[in-house]
Amino acid sequence: MGTIHDRMAEDLRLKNYAPGTQAQYLRCVDRFVAFFDRTPARLSPANIRSFFVHLTDKEKAPPTRVKMHVASVRFLYKVTLRRPKAVANLLLPKVPHPLPDILSRTEVERVLDAVDSFKHRVILMTAYGAGMRIGEACALTTADIDSKRMVIHVRKAKRRRDRYVMLSPVLLNALREYWRQFRPSGAELFPGDKPNTLISHNAVRKALKQALKKIGIKKRVTPHSLRHAFATHLLEDGADIRVIQELLGHGSIRSTARYTHVSTKLITQTPSPLDRVSVNGGGKSA
């Protein structure tokens, strides 16, 4: 691919895409080009379509993976090659959105208590206490913690947006204890083993997985589940859904509204229409 790969990499940087997105797009396009083994500039719309048919039918790629390849190839042709008509008819697959498993407050407490490493526990407390993505929590700097205003500054999150979230007094105490124990020397609040690096997301995921196994919770739980629990518990406590949207950094209220589907408190407090119908549900007497 050579020059086209380099030009696309430049275009992604100029468009200010997140580093992780840049890497994903380039990997997908490299694979697309390798499938044909010739320059993408000479491919027809039918050629391009054949790659996605192969990806879907032969490789049985999940919809999320196909969607990422579609977005990457669209960027290649629309921006780098300036041939938007070549991808005008590319179809995006429907991606299923199953409802997440939600931890109860008691389960959150048990999970956090079961995390052996205090450093990992504080990171997971941050994810739950402020509704942060695990990448956002791991990337915090000491300057992001504003104890005077009791807020945390989340920088360059999804879609490169900054936002403020609440700083819980309980979380602040945990962060202060973490600081006393670890005394990170650089700007990073949760540094990795090497200088000027961040703690690995996988290390936090592994610590959470071990805690879940220890206490026997069978729900599908990842660090992101703590963000789901944060939103659901706020909603159950009566927080305005618009406020929750801002705290989560959602671009659309529709993303936040999904938590109304998993809040058992809202579900159980909504009366069934059967309650207003007079009918004998006890069966025939003997």
Nearest to 101 by CA among 225, 215, 217, 224: 225
Q: What angle do CA 110, 113, 117 make, to 5 degrees?
A: 140
Identify the active-site residue in 5, 65, 224, 258.
Answer: 224
Nearest to 110 by CA among 216, 185, 203, 266: 216
Identify the active-site residue in 78, 83, 205, 250.
Answer: 250
Identify the active-site residue in 133, 178, 228, 233.
Answer: 133
Identify the active-site residue in 78, 158, 205, 258.
Answer: 158
Please state, in angstroms and rounded to a whole number, the distance separating the CA atoms of residues 113 and 219: 17
133 a catalytic residue:
yes
65 a catalytic residue:
no
Helices 169-182 & 118-130, crossing angle to 10 degrees? Answer: 150
158 a catalytic residue:
yes
Note whether 125 and 171 are within 8 A (CB): yes
Strand ranges for 43-142 from DSSP E: none
Identify the active-site residue in 119, 227, 228, 233.
Answer: 227
228 a catalytic residue:
no
Please state, in angstroms and rounded to a whole number, the distance separating the CA atoms of residues 19 and 69: 17
| Total Cβ atoms within 10 A of residue 201 | 16
Q: Is 71 exposed, middle or buried (0-12, 13-18, 19+ CB in 10 A)?
A: middle
250 a catalytic residue:
yes
224 a catalytic residue:
yes
Helix (H/G/I), strand (E/B), else coil: 150: coil
* Residue 261 backbone class (left: φ over 0; alpha: ψ -120 to 50; beta: rest): alpha
Instruction: Provide the annotated active-site residues.
Output: 133, 158, 224, 227, 250, 259
